[in-house]
Every structure is written in C-alpha cells, then in structure tokens.
Amino acid sequence: MGLADNKSEYNSILLLVKDCCKEVQLDRSQNFRHIDHAKLGKVIRLARGRNEYLNSGRFPADWPITDIVKQYLRGQRKIRSRRNKEAAEAGNDNNSSGSEGEGEGEGEGEGEGSDSGGGEGSLSGAGEGRDEEEEEEEEEAARPLKRARRN
C-alpha cells in the first residue's frame, strides 16, 4: 500500500474500513468468499469516498480494501471462536465440580458480545497461525483479483 513510513495513515484506513463494515452490517461470522457482494461493494465505495488515498486510482480492483476486510473478518471469527472455547471450558469446569443434580430450568441462553478489539493490525504477517483451509479459501477469493491486476 506504500504506507510503511506513515503508520498513522495506515491505522486510520484500517479503522475506516472496519467502520464501513459495521455501517453496512457486513456479516462478520462469514468467510470472505461467502459475504454478500453488494455489501462488499458498499464497503469499498464508502471507504474510497471517505479517504482520498484510497480514492486516488492507484489500487486496481481496490485490493487494499478487500485485504483489510478479509483480515477484519478473520479476526472477528477468531475472537468468536476463542470466546466460545472459553465459555465451553468454563461450562466444563462448572460441571466437573462433582455435584450432579436433577431439576428443571427455564430461560434463554443466547446473546451477543461486544466487538471490541477486532481485526486491526498489519497485513504483513497476516498468514501466521492460519490453517491450510483458510489459506486455500483466501487463494480462491484472490484469484479474480490477481486476474484484474494483470489486465
């Protein structure tokens, strides 16, 4: 992206794209290749309209915006997975106390957590700690972008 010397501009672009994803209500539980293309287009248009650096025509196929969206979605899925795992472990700790009982209960068990702490960071090193399935999914999603860059 050419912002190695301007970390504050890079971070502001990350935050802008994240805010655009929230504004168009992009489904953060979905993988990039399964998201609604119309909503992705809205994210791209909003980000380009709000930041002159992204709107300057220097990026074919808006690759920085799509890469940031991928990074953001991946981060959100990891956060959700970690929270679910911690909740399951906490549930197992409560059940392993040795006292089992019978009874009836009522109530709803679903809810939503906050989305704090998600997705910001450098794109360099974005491949660390990923499994092969995620890498294959990203390669499939990037193929049309690579073709567009060649043209």
For residue 63, give the nearest of 76, 44, 78 by alpha carbon: 44
pLDDT of residue 105: 47
Q: Which pLDDT value is given to residue 143?
A: 54
Answer whether 97's CB lies under 8 Å from 42's CB: no
95-126 residue pLDDT tens: 655 544 454 545 444 444 444 444 444 444 44
- List CB contacts of 119: < 8 A, sequence separation 6 or more: 14, 18, 71, 72, 73, 74, 75, 76
The model's pLDDT over 8-58, given as tens digits with 9 standing for 90+, comes to 999 999 999 999 999 999 999 888 999 999 999 999 999 999 998 888 778
**What is the band of 92 on the pLDDT scale with cuts at 50, 70, 90?**
confident
User: pLDDT higher for 137 or 28?
Assistant: 28
CA dihedral 137→142→143→146, nearest 10 degrees, is: -160
Supply the pLDDT for residue 131: 55
What is the pLDDT confidence band of residue 93, given thresholds at 50, 70 and 90? confident
Read off the pLDDT of each residue in 126-140 and give the average, rounded to a whole number. Answer: 52
* Helices vs. strands in the chain: H and E counts, helices first: 5, 0
